[in-house]
Structure 1
Amino acid sequence: MDIKLHGRKVLVTGGTRGIGRGIVLAAARAGADVLTCHRQEGEAVDSLVHALKETGGDHHVIRADVGEISEVDRLVGEAKERFGHLDGVVNNAGVISHIPFAELPAEEWTRIIDTNLTASYRIIQQSLPLLGNGSSLINIGSRGAAAGIPLRAHYTAAKAAMIGLTRSLAKELGPRGIRVNVVAPGVIETEAFDAMPAERAEALRATYAQKTALARLGTVKELAGPVLFLLSDLSGYVTGETVNVDGGI
């Protein structure tokens, strides 16, 4: 069954690379009009713009650093100006670093929390006037939020908080017909693997082949599928949930 999103207006943060890029392209190909953002110019931005032009629809790729509140507000303002309303929001933008907790600087804690959590709070809050009955909010979490990951206490804290935010908002916004869910990826193979030394990439694939029930890494397309489902009317009675897309890790 193909999921159709024709005419829907969707905002996706951090949509030029990796998981975000896959979500943007999948939503556009399903018929949605998509606005997404990026922090830095580069080939990934140019190639996404080209791909969206070939897809058809009313799509926009703009520069905005969601780690800054003022930039978040400007991004939502762009959505209002260009679309008038929103049917879906996917909070995907995120950053990560690997630092022992004893050495974790306060400014790095703040950077990770602001980009991975505070930006989602602000985008949802500022988007509320644009959302109506049947709208869907999706927060991209992490399977690591439940498992815990050494050297990533700041990151896993932000992603765990995302689950609490989602469950509270599902109850608060439910009477307005707005659904709120988390999609929590396991290890997804993105273009970042192409930038690694071949030996390291193969070692990672081998490691996760042993750790997952499906004996492999996930693909961006396999992560985008559940997101499209949650954006669509097929998930009209699903809210407050965390959907783990992790191959049975």
Structure 2
Amino acid sequence: MDLGLTGKKALVTGGSRGVGRGIVLALARAGVDVITCYRQDSDAVTSLEHELKEIGGQHHVLRADLADPAQIESLIGRCGELAGHLDLVVNNAGAISHVPYPELTLDEWRRIVDTNLTAAHLVIQHSLPILGDGACVLSIGSKSVEVGIPHRAHYTATKAALTGLMRSLAREFGGTGLRFNMIALGVIETENLHALPAEQRELMVRRYSDKTALGRLGTPDEVAGAVLWLASDLARYVTGATIAVDGGIS
């Protein structure tokens, strides 16, 4: 099915691995010219560049640490130079840690807030002047905001705050035709899961599969499917929404 995305311009933050990588590749295959960023060099960056070259299109993989506001401003400036405008922005880059609340330091709180929330805010704010007509802005959230996760209060707080940010922007900019939505993820199978020792990996897969209605974990491609839909004209009346891509987890 042709979603009418050919020739569109997109920025996906944190696109070298996991969910972000799946989104980048799906957009490229749909004919979108994609700009993505990564924090540090790795084999994943090199392989992503190779895959994008094979797909074809005007794609760019740029280095940017989104914990640094100056680098965010520079990144968006490069997007303007390379693409002219953006039809889609996906705030995917994020950080997570597992810390008992009494031991959560202010530095770690700030690191998670700066990466997950402040960076998304700055990406959106700096992107506003180059967003095209009817552009779509998405932020990747988590179903954890509905239930809470022990030892991840800081992470969950940022995802809840992102939801409020996107809903408020949907109201503020609705008259301009810009759309702002959330995608709330359940447990997605990525290379982080594959890197665990086999016994621990099998335990994690079984535990979380049992919590979902579909009885399995999600994949980056399935998250990308929601992104493609929300970026297309099929979702042109959808804004301020949170779309759950979670397999019916509870």
TM-score grouping bracket, smaller chain normalisation? over 0.9
Is the CA contact 1:132–1:177 (under 8 Å) kept in the aligned structure 2? no
Is the CA contact 1:65–1:71 (under 8 Å) kept in the aligned structure 2? yes
Measured in 2, the distance between the counterparts of 1:4 and 1:222 equals: 19
- TM-score (structure 1 length as normaliser): 0.98
What aligned pairs does 1:219-234 form with structure 2 within 5 A after superposition?
A: 219-234=219-234
The answer for the alignment partner of 2:171 in structure 1 is: 171
- Using the aligned pairs only, state the percent identity: 59
The alignment status of 1:33 with 2:63, answered yes or no, reads no
1:120 shift after superposition: 0.7
The answer for the alignment partner of 1:60 in structure 2 is: 60
Is the CA contact 1:117–1:161 (under 8 Å) kept in the aligned structure 2? yes
Structure 2: runs of 5 or more not aligned = none
The answer for the alignment partner of 1:73 in structure 2 is: 73
Is the CA contact 2:89–2:138 (under 8 Å) kept in the aligned structure 1? yes
Count of residues in Structure 1 that have an aligned counterpart in Structure 2: 249
SS state at 2:134 partner = strand
The answer for the alignment partner of 2:247 in structure 1 is: 247
1:223 shift after superposition: 0.8
1:242 shift after superposition: 0.4
Measured in 2, the distance between the counterparts of 1:147 and 1:163 equals: 15
Letter in 2 for 1:61: V
1:2 shift after superposition: 4.4
Q: Which deviates the most, 162-171 or 127-136?
A: 127-136
CA RMSD of aligned residues (A): 0.8
Letter in 2 for 1:195: A
The answer for the alignment partner of 2:83 in structure 1 is: 83
Letter in 2 for 1:139: S
What aligned pairs does 1:155-234 form with structure 2 within 5 A after superposition?
A: 155-234=155-234
Output one character per residue of 1:22-66: Cα deviation in whole Å (capped at 9) or x when no partner.
000000000000000000101000000000000100000010011
Measured in 2, the distance between the counterparts of 1:127 and 1:18 equals: 24
1:193 shift after superposition: 1.9
Letter in 1 for 2:188: I
Is the CA contact 1:132–1:176 (under 8 Å) kept in the aligned structure 2? no
Measured in 2, the distance between the counterparts of 1:220 and 1:45 equals: 17
- TM-score (structure 2 length as normaliser): 0.98
The alignment status of 1:112 with 2:120, answered yes or no, reads no
Letter in 2 for 1:225: G
Output one character per residue of 1:190-240: Cα deviation in whole Å (capped at 9) or x when no partner.
111221111111111110121000011011111110011111111000000
Measured in 1, the distance between the counterparts of 2:105 and 2:132 equals: 41
